[in-house]
Amino acid sequence: MFTNNRFLGVTCMFVVALFVAVAVGGSGQSQEVRPYQPFPILTGKWMLDTGEIITISQEPGGKITGLFTPSVVCLNNSTRSILFTGKLKVDAQNVGTTTIEGDDFWACTRTPAMVTECGVQEVFRTKFRGTVSSSSITLESLRPHYDFEMVGGRRTNCRRNASKDEYGAPVTLTPLCRPSTPWFDRGSAPCQNLKTPEIIVDSLLASVRVCGSVVYSYRFTDSDQLTFQSFGTELAAHVKRQIGGIVCCDQFQQPAPRGGCDPRSDFDCDGLNNEVDTIPWPHNPAIPLPDMNIFSIPVGAQVAPFPEGLNSDDPGFLPMSSGCDCKWQLIQGVLNCGTGGQGHSYVATWKCPTSGRTMTTTKNAAASAPCP
C-alpha cells in the first residue's frame, strides 16, 4: 500500500472494490440511458491558428458556440467576445465527415480605411461553413464585397456588391485542453453522494452504470455464458483500474456549465462519445472495453507505468479539478523501486494546459509491495 506523505499523511490502499451485479434475468431496475450524440464532442478550450483561445460549448442537438476567452480587440474601437454559433451536420456524401454552417460568424474588417471612408463596421456578422472533428475545426467566413471609387486617395461612393462576395482564407482551431472532470475528485472535495460504479451483467448485456446513467454497454451475440461471465469480471477490473472505485454523483448530475461536458455522453471529457470511446478487449479484440481517462498524457511525455493497483482512489495523487479549468496533464512519471529494504515511490508531475501551472504529487509504498 502507498501513503500520501505530501497531502494527507495517511495510508491508503490502491484498490477499492467495485460492485458487480450479475443477473440471469431482468434486473427490474430502471436506468437512465445516456443521450445519444451523433457528432464529435467539441466542448472545451481550443486555440485559433492566430493564438486566441476559444471556449466551445455544445448542445445535445449539435448547436455549438465559440467564445473568445478573453475577448479580443478588433481594429481600434471594437472587441469580439464571440467567434461563431452554428449547427453541426453529418455529411451524407462523405461517411465519417461532420460539417458546420450558419449565419453567425463575427469577423473583423481587415482594412481600417473601409471603416473610416466607407462606414463599414469594425466587427460584422456573416455566414460561415467548415468541417470539424474531435481534433480539428476548419472554418471559412463569407467576406462581403464593396465597390467604390478612389478620389484623391480616398474611397468614395462605397456600395455593397453581394455578387462578388467570396469565402476568405480558412481559420483553424486545435484543442488546447479538455474540460475538467470534477466527479472524479478525491480527498478534500465535499461530496454528499459518493457511489460506486456498477457493472451490470444481465442477459448477455454487459454495461457500466454510474450515478444512475449507463456510460457503456455491449450486447453479446454469442450465447456462450462462460465468455460472457469472464468478460464481466474483466470489465469490473478494467473500470477499477481506469477510474477507481467511487464517483461523486453530486458533480456527475450537475448541468454542464458553458465550456463543460456532459458525462452521460462523454464520461471522461476527452471529446469522444461514450459509444465509440473504446479499446479492444485483449482476450478478444472484436469486443470493446470502455476507454476512460481521467487525465491526459501529452505526446512524448516520459511517464513510467503505474505500479500494480495505483488508481484514482488514492487521495491526493490526482490534483483537484478546481486547480485547473481543464483536465490535468501528466507530463512526467518516475517510479523509484527501493532496494535493500527501502520503500518505493512514484513521483508524478502535473501541468494545467491553460495556466501553465505545475505541481508534483508523490506516493510511497513499503518495501514489501510489488515494484516492477
Q: Indicate whether 2 pLDDT > 90.
A: no
Q: How many structural domains is the chain composed of?
A: 2
Strand-pairing partners, residue 330, are: 350
Confidence band of 16 (pLDDT split at 50, 70, 90):
very low
pLDDT at 309: 63
Statement to judge: residues 84 and 139 lie in one domain: yes
pLDDT at 187: 60
Statement to judge: residues 197 and 168 lie in one domain: no
Confidence band of 134 (pLDDT split at 50, 70, 90):
confident
Domain-embedded: residue 138? yes
Give the chain's mean pLDDT.
Answer: 84
Phi, psi of 285 (to 5 degrees): -60, -15
pLDDT at 143: 96
Confidence band of 114 (pLDDT split at 50, 70, 90):
very high
Statement to judge: residues 199 and 333 lie in one domain: yes
Rounded to an integer, what distance in angstroms lies between the CA atom of residue 110 and that of residue 122?
Answer: 8
CATH of the domain at 122: 2.40.128
Statement to judge: residues 198 and 329 lie in one domain: yes
pLDDT at 17: 37
Statement to judge: residues 261 and 333 lie in one domain: yes
Confidence band of 366 (pLDDT split at 50, 70, 90):
confident
Domain-embedded: residue 8? yes
Helix (H) / strand (E) containing 153: none
The pLDDT tens digits of the residues spanning 315-330 come to: 678 888 888 888 899 9
- Domain final residue, candidates 176, 195, 219: 176
Contacts of residue 252, defined as CB under 8 A and 6 or more positions apart, other chains included, come to 183, 210, 211, 213, 263
Statement to judge: residues 191 and 331 lie in one domain: yes
Statement to judge: residues 219 and 122 lie in one domain: no
Statement to judge: residues 103 and 186 lie in one domain: no
Statement to judge: residues 247 and 342 lie in one domain: yes
How many percent of the chain have pLDDT more than 90? 51
Rounded to an integer, what distance in angstroms lies between the CA atom of residue 172 and that of residue 217?
Answer: 35
> Exposure string (b/e) for 64-77, b if CB count within 10 Å is 16 or more?
bbbbbbeebebbee
Q: What is the mean pLDDT of residues 345-358?
A: 92
Confidence band of 159 (pLDDT split at 50, 70, 90):
very high
Q: What is the mean pLDDT of residues 57-62?
A: 87
Angle at 240 between CA 239 and CA 245, to 5 degrees: 120
- Domain final residue, candidates 155, 176, 197: 176
pLDDT at 73: 93
- Domain final residue, candidates 118, 143, 176: 176
Helix (H) / strand (E) containing 11: strand 11-12
Q: What is the mean pLDDT of residues 120-147?
A: 96
Q: How far is CA 28 from the centre of its chain?
A: 33
Range of the domain at 255: 2-35+179-365
Q: How, if at all, do strands 20-23 and 171-177 pair? A: unpaired
Domain-embedded: residue 69? yes
Statement to judge: residues 58 and 142 lie in one domain: yes
112, 121 contact by CB (below 8 A): no
pLDDT at 242: 87
Statement to judge: residues 163 and 188 lie in one domain: no
Domain-embedded: residue 370? no
Q: Which tops the pLDDT comparison, 212 or 226?
A: 212
Statement to judge: residues 10 and 23 lie in one domain: yes
Domain-embedded: residue 289? yes
In the β-sheet with 20-23, what is the strand arrangement from edge to edge?
Answer: 20-23, 198-202, 205-210, 213-219, 32-33
141, 127 contact by CB (below 8 A): yes
